[in-house]
Amino acid sequence: MSTSTSAARTAPGEQDGPRRVPPAARRRPVTPGRVLLYAVLTLVSLAWLFPVVWAVYNSFRDYAFTAVNGYVSFGGFTLDNYARAWEQGDFGRHFLNTLVIVVPSVLVTLFLASMVAFVLARFSWGLNVAMLVFFTAANLLPQQALLIPLFRFFLRVGLYDSYWALIIVHVAFQMGFCTFVLSNYMKTLPKELTEAAFVDGAGVLRQYVQIILPLCRPPLAALATLQVTWVYNDFFWAVAFLSTGDKFPVTSALANLQGQFFIDYNLLSAGSVIVAVPTLVVFFALQRHFVSGLTLGANKG
Amino acid sequence: MTATPVAPPPAPAAGGGARPRRRRRTRLQLLTTTDRVVLAVMVAVPALIVLCIVWLPTLGTVLLSFTGWNGIGGLDRVNFVGTDNYEAITTSYPPFWTAIRNNVLWLAVFFLVATPLGMFLAVLLDRDLKGSWFYRSSIYLPVVLSLALAGFIWQLIYSRDQGLLNVVLGLEGSDRVDWYGDPSVNIWAVLVAASWRHVGYIMLLYLAGLKSVDLALKEAAAMDGASETRTFFSVVFPTLAPINVVVLVITVIESLRAFDLVWVVNKGRNGLELLSALVTANIVGEASLVGFGSAIATILFAIAMVFVVPYLGSILREERR
């Protein structure tokens, strides 16, 4: 990233150099408009990065130092905030909670959605469109529209304040989006693939497990990446269905760090960075999957 | 955050037109009984989960909104009160109108500022640029963070005593503004943080859309001597219609769902009232006014449906073709 930054900073004069310049750019001389374009983009990018960079910067600084010199200063660097945030925020436990919620939620969602998508995309039975709407629309509702009866229901059956409540609600809520994306993808797979198997006497279950599922690896990978970040980032359902602080996943547990006698912003920064790290790792490592997942449902192709 | 699907494109034809394929799904009558049972189970189990966890509770919310239930005792204690809850909400519950105002404001800022900005950045980035990876990634970065986390991160900028903003503006002593705490400004502060995330999301969707625009179209327009601006509005923009629909729906839904950010700041009180926060406060908070909270949730649901139903209608039409 840093190399890109310096490239961007020095860019306006030299971006039309001989190397790696696409044909369209070569025809273009360095015009004021082009310089302005780079200037605007650099400015916007830096402005967009800034809040995160600011949080990271302050997470490495001593509270006593910033209390005296103000936050807009230089110095007082320490790793202490991370140790303290980890301990006070009890992040070990909360990361474990998140794991217990995210893994089954994502796996079950993808499993169920792929089954529905398979049936809707590959078989014609008159209710295909209605069922697709039934699943897709469920994903478009505001969460609060179903909160109250669900809250009472979980309370009644003893699932309130348990991970099961969260896993069930994540599965039910996210299934719509996954079904939609997967069924669109499965429709593009050639009919002949399953027809041949069908003629050979393979049942639908075999067609699904041995032919269609293996071909769906790309959208499944994209959806898995996306779902992991979404379920990881969930704040609302955890607040609504958990009451024991120890059970909270990391995103919602961060609020605990806020409840100090005074607010130690260095500590809060360190906590925020700790919570952000897993999603940032996913973002940088699986960017392609992540982006294609987001646009799978919204893009032609 | 939730992405929103768009009506599927006609499947890329392996040979011949795109439409015949859809007709060539296997008909159920051709299958054996076992296969039919398997297929039925494959749909029925997920459908049952969605029905019980999403659709029945939604229906329940609408029904409960006409009752005066306070959540104590069994369902036999439920008494129907007609539209009393709605009357109370609109006439004697001031936070409701603040919430409506804030929700409208949220929608307006997303529509008039964040969405056009995201689209503009996508257009700028849709050229061959050096370092475009860096620009794209930094603008897109906030999208992977949760809205709750965005709330915490921006606290470092908005804090009255230790925030960056007051220092940069040179505000001292009693002139300092408590950006998150002052009910006259905090909705704007929160909107900046929320837009910070929304712009990247919209940019990404438009970038994907712009990639699929036929280059020949642009070149033809350029040959005819159209300016870039003219080309965009007359040639490119119309081809983005499906993306525009998605962006419209996402913007509306994200505005209505906005919750995490205001909840981490002050639990959606004191200037940060939103419909979603009011529903939640009425149910997980100390007061358990089930009927009353349900009526607010129903209003929220109804507003969402105004946008979701036509959108689903368009999916249906696409599917049937």
**Across the interface, do B54 and A172 touch by the CB < 8 Å criterion?**
yes
What gap in Å lies between CA A137 and CA B313, rounded to an integer? 11
Angle at B237 between CA B232 and CA B241, to 5 degrees: 170
**Across the interface, do B57 and A148 touch by the CB < 8 Å criterion?**
yes
Confidence of residue A301 (pLDDT cuts 50, 70, 90): very low
Confidence of residue A21 (pLDDT cuts 50, 70, 90): very low
Selected residue of A20, A141, A225, A230 to mutate for chain B interface (largest B Cβ count, 10 A)? A141
Indicate whether A238 belongs to any domain: yes
pLDDT of residue B80: 87
What gap in Å lies between CA B163 and CA B182, rounded to an integer? 14
- Considering only CB atoms, A175 lies closest to which of B46, B145, B211, namely B46
| Cβ within 8 Å of residue A104, ≥6 positions away | A167
A25 contact B CB<8A = yes
Total length of chain A: 301
Number of helices and strands (H, E) in chain A?
17, 1
What gap in Å lies between CA B91 and CA B84, rounded to an integer? 10
Selected residue of A34, A44, A148, A226 to mutate for chain B interface (largest B Cβ count, 10 A)? A148
A205, burial (CB in 10 Å: exposed 0-12, middle 13-18, buried 19+): middle
| Closest alpha carbon within chain A to B135 | A45
The H or E element that residue A198 is part of is helix A191-199
User: For residue A109, which of A163, A179, A159 has the smallest C-alpha distance?
Assistant: A179
CA of B244 vs chain A CAs: smallest distance (Å): 10
Regions in chain B scoring below 70 on pLDDT: 1-24, 285-287, 320-321
pLDDT of residue A22: 52
**Across the interface, do A269 and B71 touch by the CB < 8 Å criterion?**
no
pLDDT of residue A162: 95
Indicate whether A96 belongs to any domain: yes
Dihedral sign, Cα of residue B90, residue B95, residue B98, residue B99: negative
Expressed as residue numbers, the domain containing A274 is 91-295
Rg of chain A on CA atoms, in Å: 25
DSSP structure class, residue A255: H
**Across the interface, do B43 and A120 touch by the CB < 8 Å criterion?**
yes
Mark residue B131 as left, alpha or beta (left: phi above 0; alpha: psi -120 to 50; beta: remaining): left
**Across the interface, do B53 and A176 touch by the CB < 8 Å criterion?**
no
Three-class DSSP category at A190: coil
The pair of three-digit structure tokens given for residue A250, joined into one six-digit string: 């990391």
**Across the interface, do B253 and A140 touch by the CB < 8 Å criterion?**
yes
Indicate whether A132 belongs to any domain: yes
pLDDT of residue A99: 96
Indicate whether A66 belongs to any domain: no
Indicate whether A5 belongs to any domain: no
CA of B277 vs chain A CAs: smallest distance (Å): 9
pLDDT of residue B314: 81
Q: How many Å is the maximal CA-CA distance in chain A? A: 79
Task: Spell out which residues of chain A touch residue B60, defining contact as CB-CB under 8 Å.
Answer: 146, 148-149
What gap in Å lies between CA B199 and CA B139, rounded to an integer? 8
**Across the interface, do B5 and A298 touch by the CB < 8 Å criterion?**
yes
DSSP structure class, residue B131: T
CATH at A261: 1.10.3720.10
Mark residue B16 as left, alpha or beta (left: phi above 0; alpha: psi -120 to 50; beta: remaining): left
Token look-up 């293996």 returns: A214
* DSSP state letters, A43-103: HHHHHHHHHHHHHHHHHTB-HHHHHHH-SSS---B-SHHHHHHHHHTTHHHHHHHHHHHHH
User: For residue B130, which of A35, A52, A297 has the smallest C-alpha distance?
Assistant: A35
pLDDT of residue A275: 94
pLDDT of residue A170: 97
- Considering only CB atoms, A146 lies closest to which of B22, B58, B130, namely B58
Three-class DSSP category at A263: coil
Task: Spell out which residues of chain B touch residue A5, defining contact as CB-CB under 8 Å.
Answer: 134
| Closest alpha carbon within chain B to A256 | B264
Summary mean pLDDT of chain A: 84
What gap in Å lies between CA A297 and CA B3, rounded to an integer? 8
A109 contact B CB<8A = no
pLDDT of residue A13: 37
pLDDT of residue A173: 94
Interface contacts (A, B; CB < 8 Å): 368
pLDDT of residue A65: 86
Contact A275, A254 (CB under 8 A): yes
| A268-297: pLDDT as tens digits | 899 999 999 999 998 888 888 887 777 766
DSSP structure class, residue A139: T
Indicate whether A61 belongs to any domain: no
CA of A53 vs chain B CAs: smallest distance (Å): 10
User: For residue B182, which of B214, B203, B158 has the smallest C-alpha distance?
Assistant: B158
User: For residue B274, which of B114, B104, B137, B151 has the smallest C-alpha distance?
Assistant: B104
Highest mean pLDDT among A135-149, A190-204, B203-217: A135-149
Dihedral sign, Cα of residue B310, residue A237, residue A231, residue A47: positive
A208 contact B CB<8A = yes
Does the pLDDT of residue A141 top 70, yes or no?
yes
| Closest alpha carbon within chain B to A204 | B35
What gap in Å lies between CA A205 and CA A209, rounded to an integer? 6
- Considering only CB atoms, B38 lies closest to which of A129, A205, A283, namely A205
3-state percent helix, strand, coil for chain B, nearest multiple of 5: 70, 0, 25
pLDDT of residue A262: 58
pLDDT of residue A18: 44
- Per the structure, how many domains does chain A have? 1
| Cβ within 8 Å of residue B294, ≥6 positions away | A148, B61, B62, B64, B65, B67, B85
The pair of three-digit structure tokens given for residue B273, joined into one six-digit string: 């009232």
User: B239 phi and psi, to 5 degrees?
Assistant: -75, -10
- Considering only CB atoms, A255 lies closest to which of B164, B201, B264, namely B264
**Across the interface, do A188 and B11 touch by the CB < 8 Å criterion?**
yes
Indicate whether A83 belongs to any domain: no
Dihedral sign, Cα of residue B189, residue B195, residue B200, residue B201: positive
What gap in Å lies between CA B26 and CA B36, rounded to an integer? 12
| Closest alpha carbon within chain A to B146 | A233
3-state percent helix, strand, coil for chain A, nearest multiple of 5: 75, 0, 20
Look up residue A232 and give its amino acid.
Y
Q: How many CB atoms lie within 10 A of CB B151?
A: 25
pLDDT of residue B13: 40
The pair of three-digit structure tokens given for residue B188, joined into one six-digit string: 């704007």
Indicate whether A13 belongs to any domain: no
Look up residue A238 and give its amino acid.
A
- Where are the extended beta strands (E) located within chain B? 26-27
